[in-house]
Amino acid sequence: MPTINQLPVLSTISSGDQLPVYSPNNGDARRTSIGSLLTFFQQTFASPTLSVNLFVPGNGFNITVPTPVSNDQWMLLQPASSLATGTITLPLNTSVPDGTSVLITTTQEITSLTIALNGASAIYGGVTSLASGSATTLRFYESTNSWYQVNSEAVFAGGIQNWVSNPSSANLLAAMTDETGTGLLVFNNTPTLVSPILSTPVLGTPTSGTLTSCTGLPVATGISGLGTGVATFLAGPSSANLDAAVTDNTGSGLLVFNTTPTLVTPNIGAATGISLVASGTIVSSGGTGIGYVAGAGGTVTQITSRTTGVTLNKTTGAITLFSAAGTTTAATFTVTNSTVLATDVIILNQKSGTDLYDLMVTAVAAGSFNITFRTTGGTTTETPVFSFAVIKGATT
């Protein structure tokens, strides 16, 4: 490197150091300080007015604003999602020209933002958070060695900026701090309310609604459209009040439920049931008598011999005997029948056959009974049919 041998080397330069400068206006050489020369260059050869610095920070970031090469430094933050914390470090105070501005913009919410001074004395009006799409501008004043906020977009409470950019019911609910209930935002024209607690509102005349767990509704004056006597029954649900309210009832007396009711001289009509217990005599006023209906009985045919047992688990039915010649000698076979109890009575008669038979029922037990039979003298080879019916009996 070439040297000026006539002058000693200056190892450290300060703004007060002087340089020789020829002044055409004065016609001679004069001296000026390095600081004055720097000011001349800054005023004469202006730097760009704006420098853009784009960042994609993560949570807990720490970004330093570059030493100004322009009047304005734009710090554009584009994080992938909302950030809980982050720090912006301002440029070193000794390297910042008077009036330098720093603009900070973020595309996502930064919940807790720290602005580090980096040598400055103070910051006035600095923000501590930035909502999505918001910004703040700080300007440096050299005389006080301080930064001042000169412009800031509104900093909304948590969630508000998100609702402004995406105004859904869920985002509004997330932004609110004193709401009641959940679900969709409600407007007054035909809303659908799910399980609301209405307290004491004036509802006007709603066209529809479902009331659940409501109390205090006066029956006599609060419900319209009731038939005669219905309001009286609702307020006092007695059998007499129900009888007065119903217009097509039959009979009189107390309301009947299906388990062990007491009926007083009922006219049952054509009834179907599993069993009927009567404490008195059962009589029939019709011409069809008392007995079993179709489907209650069954049939069975004896095989092998006339002493071979048969099984028929029905309360009534017909037994076809094995084909054999009639005889006056008595023979017996067993009928297995699960419907029979030892206290029951078996009615037995001859349904068909040429010979006439004497019939006897013996050994009635739980699940079976015996039939003993013989002809009155006939010897025809045939298959006579005996009919039976089980009548329920008792010994107590």
Q: Which of the four pLDDT bands, split at 50, 70 and 90, describes residue 287?
A: low
Q: Where are the alpha helices (DSSP H) in 291-383?
A: none
Say yes or no to pLDDT of 228 above 90: no
Give the pLDDT confidence score for residue 246 in this predicted structure: 85
Regarding beta strands 385-391 and 345-352, do their DSSP bridges make them parallel or antiparallel, or are they unpaired?
antiparallel
pLDDT digits 0-9 by tens, 31-70: 888 778 777 766 565 555 778 889 999 999 999 998 876 7
Residue 192 binned pLDDT confidence (cut-offs 50, 70, 90): confident
* H or E, element range at 79: none
Q: What is the pLDDT of residue 36?
A: 80
Whether the per-residue pLDDT at 278 is higher than 70: the answer is no
Residue 213 has pLDDT above 80, yes or no: no
**How many whole angstroms separate alpha carbon 155 and alpha carbon 162?**
12
Nearest CA among 311, 359, 358, 360 for reference residue 334:
311
Pick from 152, 58, 60, 57: nearest CA to 101: 152
- What's residue 260's pLDDT? 73
| Residues 102-136: tens digit of each pLDDT | 999 999 999 999 999 999 999 998 899 999 988 99
* pLDDT given at position 205: 72
What's the confidence (pLDDT) of residue 257?
A: 80
**Rounded mean pLDDT of the chain?**
84
- pLDDT score recorded for residue 286: 65
Question: 72-99: per-residue pLDDT in tens?
Answer: 889 899 999 999 999 999 998 888 888 8
- Mean pLDDT of the region 290-303: 90
Contacts of 338 (CB under 8 A, 6+ apart): 313, 367
